[in-house]
Structure 1
Amino acid sequence: MATESVEWARAFGLIDSGHPVHRLRRADAAGLAGRACPDGPVDGLRLLTDLISWLFVMDDACDEDGLGADPARLASAIGGLLDVLDRCGEPDSPPADDAGPLGAALHDLCRRTRAQGRPELLLRFVSQVREYLLALLWEAGNRERRRVPDVAEYVQLRRHIGGVRPCLTLTDLASAQPPGPAQRADPALVALDLLAVDLVCWCNDLFSYGKESRADPDAHNLVTVIAHDSGTDEAAALRAAADRFNQGLAAYLDAEKALLASGDDRLRHALATRRNWVRATYDWSLVAARYA
C-alpha cells in the first residue's frame, strides 16, 4: 500500500524525485491509514492512504516549501483547488490545467469518493476539504504577520487545519456499517467527533513540537500558543498541552461510554472508527520519521 500511494503521488506530479519522494516515504501514510482503518477493504484503505499522502504534500508545500508564507500565492493555489471541489468529482468535468498537480490529484480523490455511491459522504468530504483549505489561509495570514493566535482561536481553527475530518469521512466510507443520517445528526456523536478531532490534532502537536519549534518559533502548535497566551516557559507549556490532551481523553471516554450505553449497534462501528484514529495517531507518531 505504501509503494502504491507514493506511485500515485508521482503519477499526478505531486512529487518528482529526490527529497520530496524521500519525505513522503518517511511520512508513512499507509502506516497511519492501516492503523486507523485496520478492517477496511483494500480500495477504501487505498483511498484513505492517498488522501493522507495528499494532505502531507499540501502541508509540506505550506510549511516547508514556502507556499504558506505568502498568503497571496497560497490564495491563488487554493482558488484552483476550490474549483476542483465544486466539481464534486464529476468524471466528465476535469479540473482546469492551472489547478496543477494538487488539483488533478484532488479531483481523483473526489472522483473515487463519488464512485462509492454515497452522495451524502461525498458532499461531507468536499465540505471538509474546503474548510481545511480556507483554514490554511488563516494560518498563512498569521504567519505573514508573525501573529500567534490565542488558545481558543487556535483550538477552533486547528480542527480544520489538521485535515482529520475528511479522513474520518473516508474511514466511515470504508466501514461496513457507517453511521446513518440519524446517528450523524445525534448531538452526542457530533460532540464526540469534536473531541476525537481535537485529540488527534493535539497529539500531533505534541509529537511535532520539537521539529516545528526548530524550524519556526512562531509555528502553529498548541504548545506555542499556550506559552504565548499564558506567558509560561516551554516546559510549562508542554505540560499544559499534555494536561489538555489527557483531560480531553478523559472527556472522550466518558462520552463514548454514554453512547455505547444507548445500545445502538450502528454507533459501535462509528465509535470504533474514532477510537482507532486517536490510538492510531499516537502509535504512528511514536515510530514515524515525519517528526524526526
Structure 2
Amino acid sequence: MRGFAVTALEEPPFPQCRHVDTDAAAEQSLRWARELGLITDERRLRQAAAAELAGRACPDVAADRLRLLSDLLTWLFVVDDACDEDGLGDGPARLAPAVVDLLDVLDRHGAPGGGGDSPLCAALDDLCRRTRAQGSPELLLRFVGQVRDYLLALLWEAANREHHRVPGVAEYIQLRRHTGAVHPAFTLTDLAYDAPASASRRVEPALIGVETLAVDLVCWCNDLFSYDKENRSGPDAHNLVSAIAAEAGHDEPTALRAAADRFNRTLSVYAEQEAALLAGDDPTVLPFLAARRNWVRATYDWSLRAARFC
C-alpha cells in the first residue's frame, strides 16, 4: 500500500530538511525509553524512527529541544503500539485505568510530586517537567490540554473496537485530529523555536484554519501509508480509507482513491491559505507557518522511509 500512497499522493511542495543531530537524538531517545522501562520491543521502536520524524519537523533547533520532541514522539509511538497491537486499547474498561493514571500526571503540569508507578506515567511526567522548565506557561498549558484530548480520544477508539464500530467520515476526521496527537507535537515545535504566535493571533480564523488543515494532512498522510499494515490482521476502523468505504459503500480501491483525492485537495487549499498569510505584513506568524509546513513535509518524507509501515 506504500506504493499506492507514493503514486496517488501529491508531494508537498515544501523543501526537504533534516536536523544534523537526528541520528544522535535517535540513540538518546532509545536510551531514554530503555531507562524508563518503556521498551518491550526495541526493534519495533527503532522501526518507528521517532527522531527521524522530529529531525525533519525541526531541522534547525537546539539539540535539547529536538530531544524533547523526539522523546514525545517516542512516548506516543509506545502508547499507540500498546493500544493497537498489545491489546491495551481493545475496550474502554481495560484502557481507562491507564488513562486515569496519565491524567493524574497531567494534572500536576510538570510540578514535583512523583511520576506515577508505570513507565508510561514516569515518561509523561518527565516530558511535562522538561516542558515546564522551558519557561513558557502558555505553551505548557496548551501542551497538557492537548495530551489530555489525545488520551480521551483513545477511549473513543477503544469503544469503537469493543463494539466493532466504524465511525462516519465527519466523526472520524474530527476525532482523528486528537488521536493523531499532532497538536501537542506542534506545540513542542513552537516551543523549540521560541517564537509561537501570540494568543490573540492564534485565535484568528485564518491561523486556526491553516493549523487544522496541517493536522488533517499529517493524519491522512499517515492513514494512507499505514493502511496496508493496519489491516493485515483484520479490518481497522480507525483509518480515513475505512471510514470512507463504510459510509459511502465503496470497495477498497475506490475508497483509497477517494482518501488520496481528499488529501490532494486539502494540500492545495493549505498552500493557498498559507500563501495568503505569507502575503500579510505580520512577521510573527512566519515561524508558526514554517513549523506547520515542515510537519506536513516531514510526515510525507518520514512515511516514505519508516520501516514502521512495512
| TM-score bracket for the superposition, by shorter chain length | over 0.9
Q: 2:45 aligns with which of 14, 24, 27?
A: 24
Q: 1:80 aligns with which of 101, 104, 107?
A: 101
Residue in structure 1 matched with residue 7 of structure 2 by the alignment? none
Output the TM-score relative to the length of structure 2: 0.91
**How far did residue 64 of structure 1 move?**
0.3
**How far did residue 70 of structure 1 move?**
2.6
Residue 9 (str. 1) matches residue 33 (str. 2): yes
Note if contact 1:89-1:112 (Cα within 8 Å) is conserved in structure 2.
yes
Residue 40 (str. 1) matches residue 61 (str. 2): yes
Residue in structure 2 matched with residue 187 of structure 1 by the alignment? 205
Residue 272 (str. 1) matches residue 296 (str. 2): no
Residue 53 (str. 1) matches residue 99 (str. 2): no
Which secondary structure state, in structure 1, belongs to the residue aligned with residue 309 of structure 2?
coil
Distance, in Å, in 2 between the alignment partners of 1:112 and 1:96 is 16
Output the TM-score relative to the length of structure 1: 0.96
Q: 2:247 aligns with which of 219, 222, 229?
A: 229
- Once the two structures are overlaid, the 10-residue window that deviates more, 177-186 or 25-34, is 177-186
Note if contact 1:83-1:95 (Cα within 8 Å) is conserved in structure 2.
no
CA deviations 1:56-102 (Å, max 9, x no partner) are 00000000000010311100100000000000000x211332xx110
**How far did residue 261 of structure 1 move?**
1.4
Number of equivalenced pairs: 286
- In the alignment, residue 277 of structure 2 is paired with which amino acid? L
Percent of residue pairs identical: 66
Distance, in Å, in 2 between the alignment partners of 1:48 and 1:264 is 27
Note if contact 1:227-1:234 (Cα within 8 Å) is conserved in structure 2.
yes
CA RMSD in angstroms comes to 0.9
Note if contact 2:222-2:299 (Cα within 8 Å) is conserved in structure 1.
yes
CA deviations 1:201-248 (Å, max 9, x no partner) are 000000000001112313310001101110010000000000000111
- In the alignment, residue 282 of structure 2 is paired with which amino acid? D
Distance, in Å, in 2 between the alignment partners of 1:210 and 1:81 is 31
- In the alignment, residue 262 of structure 1 is paired with which amino acid? G
Distance, in Å, in 2 between the alignment partners of 1:46 and 1:216 is 35
Q: Which of the pair has the greater relative contact order for Cα pairs under 8 Å at 6+ separation? A: 2
Would you identify which runs of 4 or more consecutive aligned residues in structure 1 move more than 6 Å?
Answer: none
Distance, in Å, in 2 between the alignment partners of 1:88 and 1:176 is 20
How does 1:1-292 map onto structure 2 within 5 Å? Answer: 1-16=25-40, 20-90=41-111, 92-97=112-117, 100-292=118-310
Which secondary structure state, in structure 2, belongs to the residue aligned with residue 147 of structure 1?
coil
Distance, in Å, in 1 between the alignment partners of 2:165 and 2:46 is 32
**How far did residue 258 of structure 1 move?**
1.2
- In the alignment, residue 46 of structure 1 is paired with which amino acid? R
Which secondary structure state, in structure 2, belongs to the residue aligned with residue 136 of structure 1?
helix
